[in-house]
Amino acid sequence: MMMKMNKGLFSSLLVLAVTSTPFAFTNVSANNSSSESKQPSYSLVVKGFDWGPSVHKIVLNTGSTIQGNTLAKDSFKILAERNYPMFNFDTQSSYDGFDSGSRSINNTYLSDEEGNKLDKQTGQYITIEMSVHPDLATASTFNFDLQTFTNQYVDLQYTIIQQKALKDAAGNVINDLTTTQETPHTVIEQSIDKFDLTGKFDYKDAKYGDIALTYASYLPDTDGKKLPLIIWLHGAGEGGTDPRIALLGNRVTALAEDAVQKFFGDAAVLVPQTPTFWMNNGTGQYTQDGSSMYTNALTALIKQYVKDNKTDIDPKRIYIGGCSNGGFMSLNMLLANPNYFAAAYPSAEAYLDTWLTNKDIAKLKNIPIWFTAAGADQTVDTSKNTTPTYKRLIAAGAPNVHYSYFDTVLDLSGQYAKGKGDNSPYEYNGHWSWIYVLNNEVSNDYNGKPVKVEGKAVTLMEWLAKQSK
């Protein structure tokens, strides 16, 4: 797994069968000569968003050369279905969950096979862009399973209905692009195209026995220079053996995008995944003292990855962070390896302050740490976790520890509103303060004043990039 990935689009060729649906199909009549095109096929293009992955485009392979000027926004109608397992806790029985509905179309245009718009008059591929929203279930490729308390992939079925006739390059009418249950299609998980998803690490723990971890990684071309390493530890909902879930459950892919990478002059990214959850005490239960069965295994994984990529990674610039369960594990790793990491950036961290002894505070106080949390968090009580821990570190004389405290978690992009006539910013679950971190929208300290480095105000990612052992 220690290979460098190319920059091409990573496609999960999950060939899915589209089930029959009860929807009425709109027939397109043609009063001109018509041409029978090849059987159409299509790709669902998935992108990671602040709330998780959503289908935001469909790329239709028409099998013909289509005139772009015959395309219109309403040339097609899109119907979506999702199926996923559910569990009734009252009856202790499983049943099939189901969502369905039409998707709102924003734009339709000629494109290449990956959905990139073409500045041409004719083309074989048509991209249909659709609206997405944090509350739009039919767009999401994940469902949160309340029985396992993890995100799981759903079974997606999309139906593309042609509503208006198109013309090919020869002027023939094309009216047979409506998909059926036999129409082949693929899923392109666009946001993870830079990552190697094949990482596996086996460890034999003296106390807990055999432990198998999976991981995703991103290693850009180094051009002979050594790169910093950014480590992200996922929350409880992203545990399992499929690193895609750890990347997409929260928008962790942002760490490999230019908006973050530019501060580091390129950085490697490592996203370890536990098969259960980081706070597992070894019995399948949540820790009651801050210990984790994965401490030694995760330490070994990180050090092995750095060793295997020693020509590319700067051991003096290794940064660790994560959300919720992963925020807990970030502190756990700092305590286990107080001299290893250059800095940490935990958010909504679930490490109870009462688990930290004065000796632990002494270990942590000289490590650069930037905490992020929100008062609206109903999952982790900041008054029992981050807030008292931060205050103890400051009282102990910590010279480079910061804490960005938000009242709520709001969409700051301006793209998503509460809706139903309320145009104020969409409010996310108060636990999801890591949205601010991954969007690099964190800049103020606990006192409300900007964090500064050498007199200059910085964001969290700017600050992180400046830390070195």
Report which of 188, 82, 92 is spatially closest to residue 144, judged by C-alpha positions. Answer: 82
Within 8 A by CB and 6+ apart from 93, the residues are 87
Structure-token match 């050090």, residue found = 303
Q: Write down all domains in the chain, each with its CATH number in brackets.
A: 41-191 (2.60.40.2180), 194-465 (3.40.50.1820)
Question: For 258-269, what is the HEC assignment?
Answer: HHHHHHHCCCEE
Measure the CA–CA gap between 263 and 460, rounded to whole angstroms: 10
Q: In 3-state terms, what secondary structure has residue 48?
A: strand
Between the alpha carbon of residue 439 and those of residues 43, 46, 51, 177, 253, the distances in Å are 28, 19, 12, 39, 11
CA distances (Å), origin 362, targets 247, 342, 356, 359: 33, 16, 10, 5
Under the phi-then-psi rule, with left for phi > 0, alpha for psi from -120 to 50, and beta for the rest, what region is 355? Answer: alpha
CA dist 329 and 436 (Å) reads 19
Per-residue pLDDT of the chain (469 residues; tens, 9 = 90+): 333 333 333 333 333 333 333 333 333 333 333 445 567 999 999 999 999 999 999 999 999 999 999 999 999 999 999 999 999 999 999 999 999 999 999 999 999 999 999 999 999 999 999 999 999 999 999 999 988 999 999 999 999 999 999 999 999 999 999 997 678 889 999 889 999 999 999 999 999 999 999 999 999 998 889 999 999 999 999 999 999 999 999 999 999 999 999 999 999 999 999 999 999 999 999 999 999 999 999 999 999 999 999 999 999 999 999 999 999 999 999 999 999 999 999 999 999 999 999 999 999 999 999 999 999 999 999 999 999 999 999 999 999 999 999 999 999 999 999 988 899 999 999 999 999 999 999 999 999 999 999 999 999 999 999 999 9
